[in-house]
Amino acid sequence: MDTTRAFQELDDTSSSVRLRAAMAVGTTPKPQFVEKLIHRCAIEPEFYVRDMLTWALTRHPATMTVPALLDELRKEHPQARSQALHTLSKIGDRQAWPAITRALLTDEDEDVARSAWRAAVVLVPEGEEPELAEVLSTQLGRGQRETQLSLSRALVALGEVIVPTLETATTNKDPRVRAHAVATERLLRDPDAGFEFSIEAAKRVAALGVQEE
């Protein structure tokens, strides 16, 4: 795709035009597209267009995209950080791991935090999972259903290493933390269990201070 035309269409007022442009850029990747794609990710309002922009970035060499995406993690605009994290999780280059800081994993913006959780479980080096689980556990009880489910899925993706951390969290003074920890443990044991069922049952466990049979 012609660079000038691609740039114009990526900024078009029509989301369908922007979507087609992102698809075309990903189909015919060129080095000069990378900066524009990353910039567009930070401001694109439509989820499905952002997803296509991320796909287009994954079609370019990681040696070009990863350093530029790491720069985005220091931006003030939450969407820039969130989308960069999402894209890094899709690229899967573990050289990005040192940039997944505690500050990002506990970011006050929930979209950023959720993206950081997903990126972290993809990029964490072997052997560092327990430390990651400890940091993630500080977010137990945070937010509403969507955020709690995202955190539970991230923790469960780490596997059995999360068990000691969850056991500690089940004794937390905060009933929301206790309930979330119990629900996450149930999902680890039974991945097919519905989160709604697990969290409601966990609330009863947390309130009663006993395990249900």
Asked if residue 169 lies in contact with residue 135, where contact means CB atoms within 8 angstroms, the answer is no
How far is Cα 147 from Cα 142, in angstroms, rounded to an integer? 7
Q: Which residue type is seen at 157?
A: A
Asked if residue 10 lies in contact with residue 22, where contact means CB atoms within 8 angstroms, the answer is yes
Say if pTM beats, i.e. exceeds, 0.75: yes
The predicted pLDDT at position 1 comes to 72
How far is Cα 11 from Cα 161, in angstroms, rounded to an integer? 45
Distances (CA, A) of 112 to 19, 72, 95: 23, 12, 20
Question: Mean per-residue pLDDT for 122-150?
Answer: 95
Percent of the residues in the chain that have a pLDDT greater than 90, as a whole number = 83
- For 179: left if phi > 0, alpha if psi spans -120 to 50, otherwise beta; the answer is alpha
The predicted pLDDT at position 206 comes to 55
